[in-house]
């Protein structure tokens, strides 16, 4: 099976060989992971959401020597020091920025004026259209299965992608629940032109996530994650003691203020970076149930890509043979 990147709009847009994008993830995706994925022919993303500006600068400096290939920075737009992050992105001539969690209208023109390719992450067709109007170059449509922050609408990837595909004309990347080449095939069949993968890369050797967290993901089974904190910012979490505390408070009718107090500061760092599996916040997607091994990031890209290409040449094998 031959794949021609010149016929794929995502490969063209980012100048990459395979339309496989490693998601920006707080406390997991630093320069090591992003460089490994970019060097494997995909697009690696540095997750700036957990980085002070001086930390982001360190990662950008390392990235310049770790890869000569295209890469991106994920910029959650709610971040308080966003203007400092944008300054660094311009200084280091970052070629691609994935914005999320905010309004793309404000920063898209600034980034585009500097020649940067801009992509925004959404969880609904309505916001995909807004992104297109705001002038972004591509959209990531992320379904309910995904790890991390998520939409309130609870639309699954399987239902979201075809609707967004019908609504927008710019390139479309699917996210949420994709951990294999077969899953990639499924969303490409629905109209996506590339995939953004988060949870699977948490269990890569290069991810900066704590080994306790990686092992907890390996042990997760079906039903072990849940969308939580819907009154604040909905986030899919692994069910641990912290999750149970929040869940009990929500059932007892806790106000957003009480939930905010429960959350406190630094929960995500505590869980995902420091490895406190009881008190920390552990963001991960439903696909964790199928992740069974910590692998080098390049091997994850290769495995997904090979399975995708094989599935393209024999997609209906599980049904038996379909004759033309
Ligand atoms: C540990 C973790 C941290 C994440 N942090 C961010 C983030 O900082 N910014 C963002 O836009 N999305 C974040 N996400 C969502 C991912 O970028 C991605 O869209 C999602 O993981 C895709 O779904 P999947 O987990 O099923 O692969 C995070 C996801 C995980 C698992």
- At 75-117, the pLDDT tens digits run 999 888 899 999 999 999 999 999 999 999 999 999 999 999 9
What is the four-CA torsion angle of 253, 257, 261, 265, rounded to 10 degrees? Answer: 130
Q: What gap in Å lies between CA 150 and CA 233, rounded to an integer? A: 8
To test the ligand 1 pocket, which listed residue (196, 198, 224) has its Cβ within 8 A of the most ligand atoms?
198
Residue ranges in the chain assigned as alpha helix (H)? 9-14, 31-39, 53-66, 82-91, 104-113, 125-134, 157-167, 181-189, 199-202, 211-219, 241-251, 256-263, 267-268, 297-313
Q: Against a cut of 0.85, is the pTM above it? A: yes
303 belongs to a structural domain: yes
Residue 217 lies in a domain: no
CA of 317 to the centre of ligand 1 (A): 31
Report the alpha-carbon angle 128-161-20, nearest 5: 95
pLDDT of residue 322: 65
Residues 231, 311 within the same domain = no
* Same-domain check for residues 267 and 171: no
What is the CA(189)–ligand 1 centre distance, in A? 23
Q: Is the pLDDT of residue 196 over 90?
A: yes
- Model confidence at 317: pLDDT above 90: no
Evaluate whether residue 214 is within a structural domain: no
> Which of 48, 59, 146, 195 maximizes ligand 1 atoms within 8 Å of its Cβ, making it the mutation to test the pocket?
146
- 86 and 113 Cβ atoms separated by less than 8 Å: no
Question: 262 and 168, same structural domain?
Answer: no
Pair (97, 145) in one structural domain: yes
Same domain flag for 92 and 199? yes
Q: 199 C-alpha vs ligand 1 centroid, how far in Å?
A: 7
Report d(CA 69, CA 18) in Å as an integer.
Answer: 12
The CA distance from 176 to 199, in Å, is 9
Same domain (yes/no): 275, 139: no
> Rounded to the nearest whole angstrom, what is the distance from the C-alpha of residue 45 to the centroid of ligand 1?
11
The atom number, within ligand 1, closest to the CA of 179 reads: 27
Looking at the fold, whether 135 and 239 belong to one and the same domain comes out as no
Report the distance separating Cα 136 and Cα 118, nearest Å: 5
Q: Helix 82-91 to helix 53-66 angle, to the nearest 10 degrees?
A: 20
Q: Is 208 in the pocket of ligand 1 (CB under 6 A)?
A: no
Residues 125 and 274 occupy one common structural domain: no
Report whether residue 47 contacts ligand 1, using a CB cutoff of 6 Å.
yes
- Is 98 part of a structural domain of the chain? yes
Same domain assignment for residues 314 and 266: no
Same domain assignment for residues 38 and 176: yes
For residues 217 and 283, is the Cβ–Cβ distance under 8 A?
A: no
Task: Give mean pLDDT, residues 206-216.
Answer: 98
Cα 292 from chain centroid? 19
The predicted-structure confidence for 9-56, as pLDDT tens digits, reads as follows: 999 999 999 999 999 999 999 999 999 999 999 999 999 999 999 999
Range of the domain at 122: 5-208+294-319
Domain count for the chain, please give it. Answer: 2
Cβ–ligand 1 distance for 196 under 6 Å, the answer yes
Domain assignment present for residue 215? The answer is no
Nearest residue (CA) to ligand 1, atom 29? 148
Does the residue 213 lie in any domain?
A: no
Q: Are residues 268 and 299 in the same domain?
A: no
CA distances from 46 to 16, 149, 189, 208 (A): 16, 17, 28, 11
CA of 166 from ligand 1 middle (Å) equals: 25
320 pLDDT band, cuts 50/70/90, is confident
Count other C-beta atoms under 10 Å from residue 147's C-beta: 29
Tell me what percent of the residues of the chain surpass a pLDDT of 90.
Answer: 90
87 and 104 both lie in a single domain = yes
Distance from the alpha carbon of residue 202 to the mean position of ligand 1, in angstroms: 9
Residue 255 lies in a domain: yes
Q: Domain containing 116 — which CATH number?
A: 3.20.20.70
Atom of ligand 1 nearest to the CA of 49: 8
Distance 324 CA to ligand 1 centre (A): 40
**Residue 216 domain-assigned (yes or no):** no
Query: What pLDDT does residue 80 have?
Result: 85
The two tokens of residue 229 are 């904190």
315: pLDDT confidence band, cut at 50, 70 and 90?
Answer: low
């Amino acid at each position: 099976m031959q794949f021609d990147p010149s016929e794929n709009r995502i490969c063209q847009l980012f100048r990459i060989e395979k339309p496989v994008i490693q998601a920006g993830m707080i406390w997991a995706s630093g320069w090591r992971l992003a460089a490994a994925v970019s060097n494997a022919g995909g697009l690696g993303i540095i997750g700036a959401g957990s980085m002070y500006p001086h930390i982001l600068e360190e990662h950008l400096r390392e990235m310049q020597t770790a890869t000569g290939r295209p890469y991106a920075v994920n910029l959650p737009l709610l971040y308080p020091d966003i203007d400092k992050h944008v300054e660094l992105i311009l200084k280091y001539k970052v070629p691609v920025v994935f914005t999320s969690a905010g309004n793309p209208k404000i920063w898209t023109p600034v980034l585009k004026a500097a020649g940067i390719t801009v992509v925004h992450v959404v969880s609904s067709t309505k916001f995909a259209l807004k992104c297109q109007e705001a002038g972004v170059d591509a959209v990531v449509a992320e379904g309910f299965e995904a790890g991390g922050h998520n939409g309130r609408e609870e639309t699954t990837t399987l239902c979201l992608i075809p609707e967004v595909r019908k609504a927008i004309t710019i390139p479309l990347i699917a996210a949420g629940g994709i951990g294999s080449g077969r899953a990639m095939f499924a969303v490409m069949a629905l109209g996506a032109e590339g995939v953004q993968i988060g949870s699977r890369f948490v269990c890569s050797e290069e991810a900066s996530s704590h080994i306790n967290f990686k092992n907890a993901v390996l042990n997760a089974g079906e039903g072990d994650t849940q969308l939580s904190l819907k009154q604040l910012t909905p986030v899919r979490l692994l069910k641990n003691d912290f999750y149970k505390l929040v869940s009990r408070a929500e059932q007892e009718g806790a106000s957003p203020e009480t939930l905010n107090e429960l959350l406190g500061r630094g929960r995500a760092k505590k869980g995902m970076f420091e490895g406190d599996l009881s008190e920390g916040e552990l963001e991960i997607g439903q696909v964790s149930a199928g992740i069974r091994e910590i692998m080098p990031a390049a091997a994850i890209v290769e495995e997904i890509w090979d399975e995708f290409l094989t599935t393209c040449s024999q997609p209906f094998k599980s049904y038996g043979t379909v004759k033309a």
